[in-house]
């Protein structure tokens, strides 16, 4: 099935909206008109909603899952183009990500992952293009450069953040770390700039922006340090946990395991293509109005709508001032992710940073397609933002600019296919994964997590551990599922004893 | 409540069997005579059995939990001596342990952990006593020494095991690693002995035995490498994940969360003090005979009895030859763990290795007791085995031998209390956490994991990830719970449609 989401471009077919994916669900609804009230309505079928819906259904609740899109997975989904999974959003997983890995083990997929990197043959180099010029170096030298730069950036306490953020699941466990949330990445770079070589500074800035998708000024230094702590306070951990292991069969195959297990309980009702307009918490439960005019009632709602989208929904009663302030601030991640299929096989072992003059600043060889071509995944963001579908020649040029011809002799970079999802223009995402601007988390993390009457808010954007990651979505889906299941069983137990 | 398990010794009261613990469950059974058949009987109330029982009960099954002891937690439980949690068995947790940490988040305990280490004040040194003499050094020097020794030990592929064990949850993912399971730790040390300084060799051997609890000859080198891989292939990861973070309120408080959540479903029946004699898989389910003469029937059984104890149970039909062979081999861990409460407050920042001449070879300052004394936790094993309760003067002497008087002037090591559990003499454990001898896992891991008719075997001893850890127990409890729940719902669905 083909989702409405995403775009493909090929030389022969040109630009086409829609990408085939295992994540598209048919039929698009299994609702019958008989049920008038559910135990819980889960809004959003990303990993958070899928986890909450599955757990609640397994634990005996009648669940209604509503999703605006035609597919599951939210900000993580994969193509199925000739069987090949280009990852349109969230991609990489690791056993250090507790919630994700536990689900991977649940579905027996622990052997079904592979490394994005393959440095066995081909160019086997890292290409760095900066305002100073263009160089290539070995991947060992790339690692040494990044390790050195990241150590300087993160060493706020003599032990690379271990004292400042000793327990990363309680973000501000050490109150001395709070001032780091008033700082931006630009502020931190200003502190250490005299110690950074030009190459270190370029790769550091590109690496920070690869995490935040914002600008250096809009990136909270504390939130970067939180990621760093989650990765074990090392560059190697950062590589291992953020950008190494991915599913051979793609994210959408993983997400389907949750959906199908929930469906097998026969307690899951669902409707796709059902965006929400209004959520009301009432004394007896919740009332949900969809944009299509339908009304749904339940004892509780779990709302997994991303932070940047919450302003498009009305709530009754109005949300708390703190939550409204967090929504008004929003997160800053406007990552651009473009997959390019390139006929040059030698580029499988290529990685590169081109910064700050290109729309795409960070890219790696990510796989070999069924046609035997090299798959390069490229990242950009707010720094020099573009809408990849707006001008394909500009997008192709941004890919080609990653490769300075001097290093490749007569081998031109021949783009056979582009695949991408414009998360910035996606009305149900309004950005990529959550990344905090300075000040947001130290003032409003609790507000974002707070429930509103019978509506529980859950989502990776305000998870405690791997906030912004699939793992944080599952963390939050579990939390909300347990909370709501206990309450619903309490309500029903009280009714039964009347 | 006081468990039958464990021992305490104080100068005034002498040696006493039994230790107060939050893990003791009263009343010891909630069985009524009305029910004749359960959906599932879970044998063993360690973390594996607790997870399986809780999940099955939450997901609608009628569960019977049987436990030989008077308490939950199996090989992980904590004292409640004046409110202080001496950890009698499994202790440390980390967010890199996916199953454990997910449960910690479920129960909101992520802020309720603390570091065993506190190097702020006092002696702030590492003491190394070997056949070469006695020295002290800073903790930074201790770390450098261990880092160097472990790097030499683990660097089998130029990248510290990353190529050999790239995906630790599929233990033998790289078939080139299989020969490492034919090697013992002694074999590996023989390979690198010319590169090890005497100090490196002493701390390496003590550290390997701290993991295995066997001898160097009975310790599988592959299994050590598997631990190393799970820890991120670094000494720092090894420290962080194995021996740093523990519960402020103790393991038994954590285990109670599982039990109480299961009990709240009203679908959990349980009986403690109920050791099992015989387990029969029948065409329609299972029949369990307890040693007290009671018989229990269920559609399925989840047997979480440790590998070393399975030979004390009879099975009908007999277990497979492969499983029988694994049981006959058994695991090798005979760790001795002794807690000592010592009046010298300066030792809070002390760590030490005394090897190979002492029964206790590895110890650290682990806390400060309510009386303000220093709590030292000390480890020994098969290397120079003792039963700590057999001769208290020998046990005290082994603690005192960790401290060479030269380093402490006139401050004698004044033992105010000893607390321990003799896992080797415990008929329901017959050893501490699982550790594989050479050859066991490469020949019998699949056999250990295999079910036998309607009996599913689950336990940390044959987990895939953090095998031997609390995390592996929860991993296995989840796996068995999902498997059994699906089958039971299938059986009942089929019956309902007759």
Instruction: Answer yes or no: is pLDDT of A188 > 70.
Output: yes
Q: Which residue, among A52, A160, A232, would best test binding to B if mutated, counting the most B CBs under 10 Å from its CB? A: A232
Q: Mean of the pLDDT values across residues A272-284?
A: 97
pLDDT of residue A14: 98
Q: Using omega within 30 degrees of 0 as the cis cutoff, is the peptide bond preceding B497 cis? A: no
Q: Which residues contact A176 (CB under 8 A, 6 or more apart)?
A: A163, A164
3-state secondary structure chain B: CEEEEEEEEECCCEEEEEEECCCECCCCECCCCCCCEEEEEEECCCHHHHHHHHHHHHCCCCEEEECCCCECCCCCCECCECCECCECCCCCECCCCHHHHHHHHHCCCCCCEEECCCCCCCCCEEEEEECCEEEEECHHHHHHHHHHHHHHHHCCCCCCCCCCCCCCCCCCCCHHHHHHHCCEHHHHHHHHHHHCCHHHHHHHHHHHHHHHCCCCCCCEHHHHHHHHHHCCCCHHHHHHHHHCEEECCCHHHHHHHHHHHHHHCCCEEEECCCCEEEEEEECCEEEEEECCCCEEEEEEEEECCCHHHHHHCEEECCCCHHHHHHHHHCCCCCCEEEEEEECCHHHHHEEEEECCCCCEEEEEEEEECCCCCEEEEEEECHHHCCCCCCCHHHHHHHHHHCCCHHHHCCCCCCEEEEEECCHHHCCCCCCCCCCCCCCHHHHHHHHHHCCECCEEECCHHHCCCCCCCHHHHHHHHHHHHHHHHHHHHHHHHHHHCC
Average pLDDT, chain B: 96
CB-CB neighbors (< 8 A) of A237 in chain B = 232
On whether the CB atoms of residues A440 and A171 are closer than 8 A, the answer is no
Exposure of A236 in the CB half-sphere (CA atoms within 13 A): 11
Residue range B178-189, pLDDT digits in tens: 999 999 999 999
Exposure of A449 in the CB half-sphere (CA atoms within 13 A): 20
Residue range B422-480, pLDDT digits in tens: 999 999 999 999 999 999 999 999 999 999 999 999 999 999 999 999 999 999 999 99
- Distances, alpha carbon A259 to alpha carbons A256, B191, B313, in Å: 5, 51, 40
Instruction: Answer yes or no: is pLDDT of A411 > 90.
Output: no
Q: What are the residues of chain A with a beta carbon less than 8 Å away from any beta carbon of chain B?
A: 58-60, 95-102, 105-106, 110-111, 113, 115, 166-170, 173, 230, 232, 234, 236-237, 240, 245, 464-465, 475, 478-479, 482, 485
Name the CA radius of gyration of chain B, rounded: 23
Residue range A347-397, pLDDT digits in tens: 999 999 999 999 999 999 999 999 999 999 999 999 999 999 999 999 999
pLDDT of residue B149: 98
- How far apart CA A213 and CA A319 sit, in angstroms, is 28
pLDDT of residue B410: 65
pLDDT of residue A493: 83
CB-CB neighbors (< 8 A) of B151 in chain A = none
pTM: 0.96
CA A116 to chain centre: 17
Q: Which residue, among B169, B228, B262, would best test binding to A if mutated, counting the most A CBs under 10 Å from its CB? A: B169
CB-CB neighbors (< 8 A) of A59 in chain B = 58-60
DSSP β-bridge partners for residue B155: none
Measure the N-to-C terminal CA separation of chain A; round to a whole number of Å: 49
Task: Please report which confidence band the pLDDT of residue B372 belongs to, taking 50, 70 and 90 as the band edges.
Answer: very high
Q: Which residues contact B170 (CB under 8 A, 6 or more apart)?
A: A110, A111, B464
Encoding tokens for residue B56? Answer: 């099955």
Looking at chain A, which residue has its C-alpha nearest residue B97?
A98
Encoding tokens for residue A415? Answer: 């783009």
On whether the CB atoms of residues A417 and A378 are closer than 8 A, the answer is no
Polymer length of chain B: 498
Residue range A224-246, pLDDT digits in tens: 999 999 999 999 999 999 999 99
On whether the CB atoms of residues A235 and A243 are closer than 8 A, the answer is no
User: What does the CA dihedral A242, A246, A252, A256 come to, rounded to 10 degrees?
Assistant: -100
Of the candidates B60, B237, B479, the beta carbon closest to that of A232 is on B237
Q: Mean of the pLDDT values across residues A401-410?
A: 89
* Backbone angles phi and psi of A448, in degrees to 5: -60, -35
Instruction: Answer yes or no: is pLDDT of A412 > 80.
Output: no
Q: Which of the pair, A358 or A412, is modelled with greater confidence?
A: A358
- How far apart CA A79 and CA A87 sit, in angstroms, is 6
- How far apart CA A496 and CA A490 sit, in angstroms, is 10
pLDDT of residue B217: 98
Q: How far A474 CA lies from chain B's nearest CA (Å)?
A: 10
Encoding tokens for residue A115? Answer: 């490394």
- How far apart CA B265 and CA A489 sit, in angstroms, is 9
- How far apart CA B114 and CA B112 sit, in angstroms, is 7
* Backbone angles phi and psi of B346, in degrees to 5: -65, -15
* CB–CB contact A95 B168 (8 Å): yes
pLDDT of residue B498: 64
Task: Please report which confidence band the pLDDT of residue B35 belongs to, taking 50, 70 and 90 as the band edges.
Answer: low
Q: What is the DSSP letter of A87?
A: B
Looking at chain A, which residue has its C-alpha nearest residue B140?
A159
Task: Please report which confidence band the pLDDT of residue A35 belongs to, taking 50, 70 and 90 as the band edges.
Answer: low
On whether the CB atoms of residues A250 and A109 are closer than 8 A, the answer is no
DSSP SS3 for A331: coil
Residue range A104-148, pLDDT digits in tens: 999 999 999 999 999 999 999 999 999 999 999 999 999 999 999
Residue range A253-270, pLDDT digits in tens: 999 999 999 999 999 999
Q: Which residue, among A62, A105, A449, A479, would best test binding to B if mutated, counting the most B CBs under 10 Å from its CB? A: A105
Residue range B118-133, pLDDT digits in tens: 999 999 999 999 999 9
Q: Which residue, among B96, B118, B230, B489, would best test binding to A if mutated, counting the most A CBs under 10 Å from its CB? A: B96
Polymer length of chain A: 498
Looking at chain A, which residue has its C-alpha nearest residue B264?
A486
Average pLDDT, chain A: 96
User: What does the CA dihedral B75, B81, B86, B88 come to, rounded to 10 degrees?
Assistant: -20
pLDDT of residue B34: 61
Residue range B309-338, pLDDT digits in tens: 999 999 999 999 999 999 999 999 999 999
pLDDT of residue B349: 97
Q: Mean of the pLDDT values across residues B372-394?
A: 97
Full strand arrangement of the beta sheet holding A336-342:
A14-20, A2-10, A415-420, A336-342, A374-380, A360-368, A351-354, A126-130, A133-137
Instruction: Answer yes or no: is pLDDT of B249 > 90.
Output: yes
CA angle A447, A451, A455 (to 5 degrees): 140
CB-CB neighbors (< 8 A) of B167 in chain A = 110-111, 113, 245
């Amino acid at each position: 099935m083909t989702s409405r989401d995403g775009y493909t471009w090929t030389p022969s077919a040109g630009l086409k909206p829609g990408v085939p994916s295992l994540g598209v669900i048919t039929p698009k609804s299994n609702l019958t008109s008989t049920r008038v009230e559910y135990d819980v309505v889960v809004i959003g079928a990303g990993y958070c909603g899928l986890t909450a819906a599955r757990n609640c259904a397994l634990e005996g609740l009648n669940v209604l899952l509503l999703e605006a899109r035609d597919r599951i997975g939210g900000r993580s989904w994969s193509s199925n183009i000739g069987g090949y999974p280009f990852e349109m959003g969230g991609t990489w997983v690791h056993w250090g990500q507790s919630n994700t890995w536990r689900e991977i083990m649940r579905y027996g997929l622990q052997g079904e992952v592979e490394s994005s990197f393959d440095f066995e043959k081909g160019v086997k180099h890292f290409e760095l293009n900066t305002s100073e010029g263009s160089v290539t170096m070995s991947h060992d030298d790339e690692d040494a450069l990044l390790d050195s730069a990241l150590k300087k950036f993160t060493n706020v306490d003599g032990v690379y953040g271990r004292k400042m953020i000793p327990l990363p699941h309680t973000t501000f466990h050490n109150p001395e770390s709070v001032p780091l949330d008033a700082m931006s990445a630009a502020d931190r770079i200003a502190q250490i700039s005299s110690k950074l070589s030009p190459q270190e500074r370029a790769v550091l800035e590109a690496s920070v922006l690869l995490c935040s998708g914002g600008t250096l000024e809009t990136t909270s230094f504390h939130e970067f340090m939180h990621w760093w702590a989650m990765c074990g306070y090392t560059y190697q951990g950062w590589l291992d946990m953020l950008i190494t292991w991915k599913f051979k069969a793609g994210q959408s195959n993983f997400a389907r395991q949750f959906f199908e297990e929930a469906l097998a309980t026969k307690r899951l009702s669902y409707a796709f293509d059902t965006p929400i307009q209004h959520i009301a918490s009432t004394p007896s439960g919740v009332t949900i109005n969809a944009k299509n005019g339908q009304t749904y009632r339940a004892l509780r709602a779990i709302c997994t709508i991303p932070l940047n989208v919450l302003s498009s929904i009305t709530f009754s009663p109005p949300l708390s001032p703190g939550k409204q302030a967090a929504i008004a601030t929003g997160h800053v991640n406007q990552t651009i992710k473009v997959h390019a299929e390139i006929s040059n096989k030698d580029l499988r072992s290529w990685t590169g940073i081109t910064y700050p003059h290109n729309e795409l600043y960070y890219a790696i060889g990510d796989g070999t397609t069924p046609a035997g071509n090299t798959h390069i995944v490229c990242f950009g963001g707010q720094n020099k933002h573009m809408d990849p579908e707006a001008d394909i020649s500009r997008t192709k040029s941004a890919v080609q600019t990653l490769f300075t011809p001097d290093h490749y002799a007569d081998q031109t970079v021949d783009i056979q296919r582009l695949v991408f999802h414009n998360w910035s223009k996606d009305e149900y995402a309004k950005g990529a994964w959550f990344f905090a601007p300075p000040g947001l988390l130290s003032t409003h993390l609790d507000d974002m997590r707070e429930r509103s009457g019978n509506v529980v808010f859950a989502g990776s954007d305000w998870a405690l551990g791997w906030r912004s990651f699939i793992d944080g979505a599952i963390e939050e889906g579990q939390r909300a599922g347990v909370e709501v299941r206990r309450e619903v069983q309490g309500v029903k137990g009280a009714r039964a004893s009347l």
